[in-house]
Amino acid sequence: MPLRIAFGALPYDMAHLLGGAMLVLSFALLYQRRVTAVINIYALQGIVLAVAAAWQGFIQDAPHLYLTALLAFVGKAVVIPVALHRIIRRLEIHREIETALGIFPSMILGVALVVLSILVVLPTTLQAQAQTLTREDLAIALSVVLLGLLMMITRRNALTQVIGFMSLENGLVLAAIGIAGMPLVVELSAAFLVMVAFIVCGVFFFHIRERFDSLDLHHLDQVGETHR
């Protein structure tokens, strides 16, 4: 059974802090203009997520969350960032990020989204008999999800869009680990990671340099395909 957690108690404060860090990092992702910096911040977010998962595993006494933490750390803090850096080098992608919406407006929009998340989540979960921690955690997770989605639609570079998607996924994992007693977290997060990996592969395979839609398919011809 989970511990009783309340304000001022260390477990709560710690979890709260880690969630807040995730949110701040999401804003940082939204704020950054340089691709490499974005990747690094994403890696940082992955590390924070791993720590949060581990901490939740500790306070909920749920050992499978350690596995989630490990998965998050290896996948999101190490493998994917490294892969992305390589892609940048290989494909000679522009280092500057092209935005569809200016940085400042997107920050304002981001703040609005956070407010919306809080307005939606906190009242709806009022009577859920859920712990305050879960509710706060869910609000933060929803913010991270929405910010990730915002990043996907306000950035024009494919790579930043991918990172937006992955940060969205971080929000999902954050939500999952925050809900006490949630089963299947490992399986689901692992499955989702597969999807993320597919997308990263796709970016690499299709030589997507600028936008998601700008697939470079010339090399497909060389495979020896008869083209219609």
Partner 1 sequence: MNLLDLLSPAGWPILVPFLAAIVLALVPSWRWGAWINTGAATLCFLAACQLPWLVGPAGKFLFVDRLAAHFSLLTAFVAMTTGWFSLTYVRAEIAARRINRHRLRLYHAMFQTFVGAMMLALLSNNLGVTWLAVETATIAAVLVVGLPRTAEAVAASWKFFIVCGVGIALALFGTFVLYLAALPALGPGLAPMSWSELLPAAARCNGTVLNLAFVFFLVGYGTKAGLAPLHAWMPDAHAEGPTPVSAVLAGSILNVALFVILRLRSLMATNEAAGGGAIAPGPAIMTLGLLSLLLAAFSLWRRRDVKRFFAFSTIEQSGVAAFAFGLGGPAATFAGLLHMTLHTLTKAGIFQCIGRAAQLKGGQKFTDISGLLVSHRLLGLTLAAGIITLAALPPFGLFASEFLIVIETLRRAPLLALPFGIGIVVGAWALIWRLQTLCLGTPTQDRGPAPSALMLAPVWLHLGIILFLGLARPAPIVAWMVAIARSLG
Partner 2 sequence: MALPLLAAIVVALLGLGVVGAVAPPRKNLVHGGCAGFSAVGAVLSLGLLLAPGAATMSVPIGLPGMSMHLAVDSLSAIFLLLLFVTASAAAIFALDAHGDEETRALPFFPVFIGAMALSLLAADSFSLLFGFELMSLSSWAMVLYRHTEETSRDAGLLYLGMAAFSAACLIPAFGLLSTGLSGDIDLRFAALRALPPEGWRAVFVLVLVVLGAGAKAGLVPLHVWLPLAHPAAPSHVSALMSGAMTKVALYVIIRVLFDLCGPAQPLWWGFPLLVMGAASAVLGALRANMESDLKSVLAASTVENVGFIAIGIGLALIARGADLSSLAALALAGALLHALTHGVFKTLLFLGAGAAQHGGGSRVLQRLGGLVHRMPITTLCMIVGCVGLAALPPGPGFASEWLLFQAVLAAPRIGGLGLQTMMAVLAALMALAAALGAAAAVRLLGVAFLGRPRTPRVAAAEEARAPARWAMLGLAGLCGVLGLFPGLALGLIEPALRLLVRADLSRQIGPLTVQPAADMPGYGAPMIAALLLVAGGAAFLAIRRWAVPGHRRGPAWACGFAAPPAWLPFGDPVTQYGGASFAQPLRRALGTALLAARERVDMPRPGETRPARFSVTARDPADAFLSAPIGWTREKLVDIADSMQFLTIRRLLSVMFVVLVLFLAVVAGIEAS
Residues lying near partner 2 in the complex (CB under 8 A) are found at 100, 113, 116-117, 119-120, 123-124, 146, 149-150, 152-153, 156, 161, 211-213
* Residue (64 or 156) nearer to partner 2, CB: 156
- Does 182 sit near partner 1 (CB under 8 A)? yes
Answer yes or no: are the C-beta atoms of 165 and 196 closer than 8 Å. yes
Alpha helices (runs of H) in the chain, residue ranges in sequence order: 10-31, 35-60, 64-72, 80-91, 103-124, 132-154, 158-178, 185-205, 218-222
| From partner 1, partner 2, none, interface partner of 113 (C-beta below 5 to 8 A by class) | partner 2
* Residue (92 or 225) nearer to partner 1, CB: 225
What CA–CA distance (Å, rounded) separates 35 from 33?
Answer: 7
**From the list 21, 121, 133, 151, which residue makes contact with partner 1 (rule: CB under 8 A)?**
121
Question: Minimal distance in Å, beta carbon 182 to partner 2?
Answer: 22
Answer yes or no: are the C-beta atoms of 96 and 90 closer than 8 Å. no
| CA 178 vs CA 34, 51, 139: distances in Å | 31, 12, 10
- Does 142 sit near partner 1 (CB under 8 A)? yes
| Sign of the Cα pseudo-torsion (210, 214, 218, 221, in order) | positive
- Does 4 sit near partner 1 (CB under 8 A)? no
| From partner 2, partner 1, none, interface partner of 100 (C-beta below 5 to 8 A by class) | partner 2
Buried b (16+ CB within 10 A) or exposed e, 108-131: ebbeebbeebbeebeeebeeeeeb
- Does 169 sit near partner 1 (CB under 8 A)? yes
What CA–CA distance (Å, rounded) separates 55 from 62?
Answer: 10
- Does 17 sit near partner 1 (CB under 8 A)? no
Question: Minimal distance in Å, beta carbon 182 to partner 1?
Answer: 6
* Residue (23 or 50) nearer to partner 2, CB: 23
Name the residues that contact partner 1, by CB under 8 A.
120-121, 123-130, 134, 138, 141-142, 145, 149, 152, 165, 168-169, 171-172, 175-176, 179-184, 187-188, 191-192, 194-195, 198-199, 202, 206, 212-213, 215, 217, 220, 223, 225-228
